[in-house]
Every structure is written in C-alpha cells, then in structure tokens.
Structure 1
C-alpha cells in the first residue's frame, strides 16, 4: 500500500484572534472558546490527546504534555471569511481581492432577468438567515409560488423553495440558470449559487440539507488537488468538497449524506479501499446547522460526536498515513448576527509515528496542501505554502 493523506475540515470551527478581525466586524469572535464557555466546558478527550488544548485555552480541554499530533494555528491570507475561499487557499489558491457581496440585496436587473428566465417572481432579495427568511416568507411562497431569494455576508445567491410547491428539479434548473447569469458569462458576480430546498408547515419548516446543491465558480488556477491527481493518485472528496472545487482535481465523490456522522462513515469507507492518495472531507453541520443558527449547545454536541468517532479514524492510520484536522473560517454561535466570523483556525497533524511538535502560527492555509503534496510525492512547484513535515 502506498502513502495516504486525509484532511478533515470542521467547517466554521475557528479559534479567534485573527489579526484583521476588526476589518470584518468580527473582533472578539472565537468559535471554539465561546462554545466551550457557553456549555460549561467541552468533553473532547480524543481531540485533547491530539493536542487541541495546546492550540488554545479551552474550557474542559486541557493541554497535554505529550500530544499525539503536531499542533498550531493558521491565519487566512484570502480577503474573505467563506468556505470556498478557505478551502481554495488550503489547496494553493489565494483570493487577494474580495468577491462581490450584496448587503442591500441584488440589483433589479439581476432579479428581473432571473424572474423572466425561470417564469416565477422573486420575494425576499435581502441578506438574511436562511431559517428565518423561510419561516417569514414560506407561507407567501406557498400561496404564490414565488422564489425566495436571499444572500448573506458572503458572496452567495441563495434560492429557497418549498418542495411541495416547487419541484426539486425545477429548483435545480433555476439555480443552473442563475449560475450561468452570475458566473458563466465572463464575469464573476457571486462566489456560489445555492439551492435551498425545504418542506413542512408554517412554524415548523425544515430545510432539506441533504438535497442542498452548490453551484460555484471554477478554480481560477491549478491546485494541489490537480497536482495529486496528476501524480497518479486518487483524490476522494467527501461532502461539499466536490462542489467547492467544481469537481476539479477529484477522482471520486462521496456525498456522505445526511449529516456529519455519515461523512465520517464516508471517510472510513474511503480509507477502507484507498491504496494511495488523498481523502479531503468537509463536515458542514458545524457551520450550517449550529454556527449560522447561533446554537452553541448543538455545536458542542456535534464536536463531542466527532470526538467519539475520532478513534475509528486514528485506528486506520498505518505507517504511510497522514491526518490533518483543521477548519476553514469561524462561525461563532455566541456572536452577533448569523454570518461567518473572521478567525484563525486550528491545525492538528498526526501520523502513525506519534511524534509531535509545535507548528506555531502559519501565515496562510496553503501549508495544508503543500504538506499533502509533499507527503504523497506530488509536484509542489509554483504554488504557495510550506510543508509542515519538518
């Protein structure tokens, strides 16, 4: 069996102290520390054994004198606090300029064209929490059949549809048209178009996260995923990784629906039959279900669920295996608003040797991709990032 690398991204699980947080209006945010404080301490013995308590002061998770993993922090270089920007930077693409956002909603010409091309009118068209705007406008959508369109602090065009009113395939077709309008005609007006199906009755609507679909921009340059694939190794994407990279540099996709524990199952499945290559996984529930919904108890419970599954992953590590656990941005469930928060992210790197050292504060997320490429023997030339292998 050849060498394997696994990167697991705990979506939105930041650790505060980003030096430019004030520029994003996020000074003081700290997803992990504030979640721990809100619930009276976290119970994460397995992450603690890797060294999570060495990364930051964390209630319930003490530092350890002999961590199993090397530990540190990463500071994002990209001018964003978004999932796509964070993952792209990990794989060697840095967004130097922020993508357009729409704090006043989308221009009338965009909305009018979307209405013409889809045959339905639009309601909403403002920044909003997805769950809140669905509860507010869901009854009107049920009466009129209009699209619910909204955005956030990120560069996204989100379309919500009650699947009892608008069939799922019609929602997907509409989002494909929006993607062509906003991304596919020579200009990038948003980072992603997102289909947000939901069902239920007024007062108890439920989003169908398993049927969510993202239509993103294609990576503008070569990534470490491309380099690993070009080296003849398999690249397995778990969760939304496939959508984030528009399928580029990926040889196999495991959706891992409907929740993060199913994604852990998918990681284990991939490792069960992968002889050499890269498993890249995103656990989105931390962000989508708990961060955006400002639910620290749910965030804590999901962290503890992941911690209980972590030994299963660690037990798969052979002499030729590398594991990195990190995050892509913050989403402090105790912070004001409902958007992502600009934070540093944790960095834990483990292999079968059990040797560990402090990694310090890394400037940029691309050290992740550089490390994966170095471990797997893929070309690293020309892309940012330094290997963490020492």
Structure 2
C-alpha cells in the first residue's frame, strides 16, 4: 500500500541555486539564479523559508539558520549532459541524456531545412532564422508576418525551432499544423533533430505584440522507459499541468491541463489538493521563471515571481491532506543577471514536505534529478531509475 495517497510534484522551471561540479564546464561560472534575483529585489518567502530553502540556498539579507525546517531539503547535481527543459524533466523520470540535441545558435538553421519547412508551410516565405529573443524578433518582423503572411522561424538558447504566427490572420490551428509538420521534418535527420518545435502564436493589441498561452511544444518522445508509464500500469492517475504533456509527448499522462501562467498552474494544484481525490500523481511545470524572466534577464520580475510562488505554496500546503506529499525541484537554472540569454548550469533545490513528517532535516548534496523521481517510484512500488539516488527510507 502506498505511503502517500497523492504526490504533488512541482518543477520551478529555470530556478537554480548556484555552484555545482560541472558549472565551469558549461561556461556558467558564478551563476546563481536564486541568490542574484534576491540581491536585485529582496524576496518575501516566509513559507519556503520555514520549509528550509535557506539551508541549501543563499539568499540576500538572510543569515539566520533554521534549526527546525518543516521539509527535507537537498541540493541536486544534475547527471545528464545538458541544461535544458527536456534534459532536466526527463532525468527526473529516468532518462539519462548522453548526447545533447543539436542547437543552431551560431548560424541559424541550414538552407536545406528552411526550404523543407517553406514547402510544408504552404510555400510561405520564412523570415528570421537566427538565434534571438522572441520578443525582439516579434518587434522586428511581427508586422511583416501580419501584412504579408510570412512565417517567423527562430531558435533560442535551447535546442528549439520556434515558429511565430498571428492568431488573427493565420490562426492557432494553422500554426499548430505547421509546427507538427516541422516536428516531422526535424525528426527525419539527426542533424536537424531539435529537442522541441514550438508554435508561438501572438496578437498585436494596443500597439504591442503579445505572445499568448496558446503555444504548443512538440518535443521528441522520451528515448527510454519512464516512471510515468509504470505509474499508469499501476492504475495511478498521472495529471500533467502546464508544459508537462508537451515535454513528455503525452507518454504516461492521463489528464492534461495545458500551458497557463504560474499562478494559474498552482491554482490547479491547489484545487486538486482541496478535493478528496485518490491515487494521483500531479506533475506541475511553472514556466515563467524561465520564459518570462530568466531568458529576458528580468531579475526584478524573477524575484517577484518567487515571492508570488510563496503565496501559492502557502495555500497548497494548507490544502494538503495528512497522506499527501509535496516535492519541489527545478530542471535547470536561468540566472536573470547572467550574461547572454541562455540557461545556466546550476545546483537545483529539492524540497520534500508532508504534514506527516516527524523530524525533517537537510539531506545535503544529491546526485541526479532522478532522486526526486525515485521517491515517486518507491511510493507506488515501481522500478527505480538510475538517474538518481534512493532516499525514500529517510523520509520519516
């Protein structure tokens, strides 16, 4: 019989906590998303502080030790050879990424790929084709897309191919169709096989280009068996909130709540927690640390988002039943004060909370994001994964 009836698994996408063994190798020396955001604007996170976040992460203005943290706290060092969304989330569920997916930061996408995409996009002209911020490229080329029907294709610091179209003149349905075709084309050759193809619909309102939440990520399918599949076999309802369904291509997911704001995604988790549901794994991605603040190097917004999360975290914890478990971790860092716009390789926080815990403590350094996944695996008695440690018996 499972120890916990429901597990709420929250991923703070792009929230790192500083130095880890391979940080220099990835060119991210000194990156620390959590600390540097707190230095720009002080954090107001009483709940996460009581849980114990400052026992594993430095926070500006905080020096007092928490002698009795309410949660088990650990610092995870990622195992895989990457620092992107797919790599991190997949490692949580048991996939070790040895060879990162291709990136096209230096020169954009090759001419042959662009020609294939243009054919698939009903012969439309493709514009952009470079590594750029999505907001910047929309300011430059958004009107051309609306007026001429051209399609913006660009890449980010991740292994992505992003496609922009206007919701009013092109439509979300057509843009999604193009993204699906692009996924098939990219998957046809290893050298084109980006981790994610992303449809990026936008609207132009009140003199501004606004990217909407009607985006869709078309990711590669996990390259090996994942914990989510085993949970389904056991009859556990796997609920994907936010980008989760896209990240895992629907593999192992029963119920889907699509992309929305971090506040809205936390509200979904809170609503589930207040219900009397049984035997559920609720997997939540909070994307805005990454998409809205990290990549845009908006440290004030990043800090404000952490403080808003704490408010929602308080409500979630108050809603949990005695036999519920909360796990919070991150997939990579994205220091909003760091050079460039790329993700940053950092240590990642692990928070484990249940009202049933008698004497939580700091767990120290942990190897692999699969450590978080293995808690889930042990609870429902499915096979452990090799991308992390087994700490389940320490949770008393």
Do both proteins adopt the same fold according to a TM-score greater than 0.5, normalized to the shorter chain? Answer: yes
Q: Could you tell me which of 105, 112, 115 is aligned with 1:112?
A: 115
| Offset from partner CA, 1:19-62 (integer Å, 9 cap, x none) | 222222211111000000011x2110000010011012212455
Three-state SS of the structure 2 residue aligned to 1:211 is coil
For residue 312 of structure 1, report the CA deviation from its aligned partner: 1.7
Correspondences of 1:48-59 after superposition (within 5 Å)? 48-59=49-60
Partner of residue 196, structure 2? 192
Q: Could you tell me which of 365, 370, 374 is aligned with 1:370?
A: 374
Q: Structure 1, unaligned stretches of length 5 or more?
A: none
Matched, 1:292 2:295: yes
| Offset from partner CA, 1:246-284 (integer Å, 9 cap, x none) | 1111111122x5311110111122332431121110011
Matched, 1:248 2:281: no
Three-state SS of the structure 2 residue aligned to 1:8 is strand
In the alignment, the residues of structure 2 paired with residue 254 and residue 384 of structure 1 have an alpha-carbon distance, to the nearest angstrom, of 27
Partner of residue 325, structure 1? 328
The normalised TM-score by structure 1 is: 0.94
For residue 350 of structure 1, report the CA deviation from its aligned partner: 1.0
Report the CA distance shift for 1:86/1:305 in structure 2 as closer, same or farther (over 3 A): same
Report the CA distance shift for 1:60/1:254 in structure 2 as closer, same or farther (over 3 A): farther
Correspondences of 1:1-390 after superposition (within 5 Å)? 3-39=5-41, 41-61=42-62, 62-103=64-105, 104-118=107-121, 119-183=123-187, 189-200=193-204, 204-208=208-212, 210-255=213-258, 258-271=260-273, 272-354=275-357, 355-380=359-384, 383-389=386-392, 390=394
For residue 90 of structure 1, report the CA deviation from its aligned partner: 0.5
In the alignment, the residues of structure 1 paired with residue 269 and residue 47 of structure 2 have an alpha-carbon distance, to the nearest angstrom, of 17
CA contact (8 A) 1:368 1:385 kept: yes
Please provide the CA RMSD for this pair: 1.8
Three-state SS of the structure 2 residue aligned to 1:24 is coil
CA contact (8 A) 1:323 1:351 kept: yes
| Offset from partner CA, 1:266-317 (integer Å, 9 cap, x none) | 1122332431121110011111111111111111111111101212211233
Report the CA distance shift for 1:240/1:63 in structure 2 as closer, same or farther (over 3 A): farther
Report the CA distance shift for 1:187/1:218 in structure 2 as closer, same or farther (over 3 A): farther
CA contact (8 A) 2:329 2:350 kept: yes
In the alignment, the residues of structure 1 paired with residue 279 and residue 189 of structure 2 have an alpha-carbon distance, to the nearest angstrom, of 38
| Offset from partner CA, 1:121-174 (integer Å, 9 cap, x none) | 111111111111111111222332111111122110000112233222111111
For residue 185 of structure 1, report the CA deviation from its aligned partner: 6.7
In the alignment, the residues of structure 2 paired with residue 111 and residue 130 of structure 1 have an alpha-carbon distance, to the nearest angstrom, of 18
Three-state SS of the structure 2 residue aligned to 1:303 is helix
| Offset from partner CA, 1:349-384 (integer Å, 9 cap, x none) | 11123321221111111011111111233332x644
CA contact (8 A) 2:129 2:155 kept: yes
For residue 196 of structure 1, report the CA deviation from its aligned partner: 0.6
For residue 219 of structure 1, report the CA deviation from its aligned partner: 0.8
Q: Which is further off, 18-27 or 227-236?
A: 18-27
Aligned length: 386
Three-state SS of the structure 1 residue aligned to 2:108 is coil
CA contact (8 A) 1:148 1:159 kept: yes
In the alignment, the residues of structure 2 paired with residue 330 and residue 128 of structure 1 have an alpha-carbon distance, to the nearest angstrom, of 19
Q: Which is further off, 184-193 or 325-334?
A: 184-193
In the alignment, the residues of structure 2 paired with residue 163 and residue 188 of structure 1 have an alpha-carbon distance, to the nearest angstrom, of 27
Report the CA distance shift for 1:125/1:273 in structure 2 as closer, same or farther (over 3 A): farther
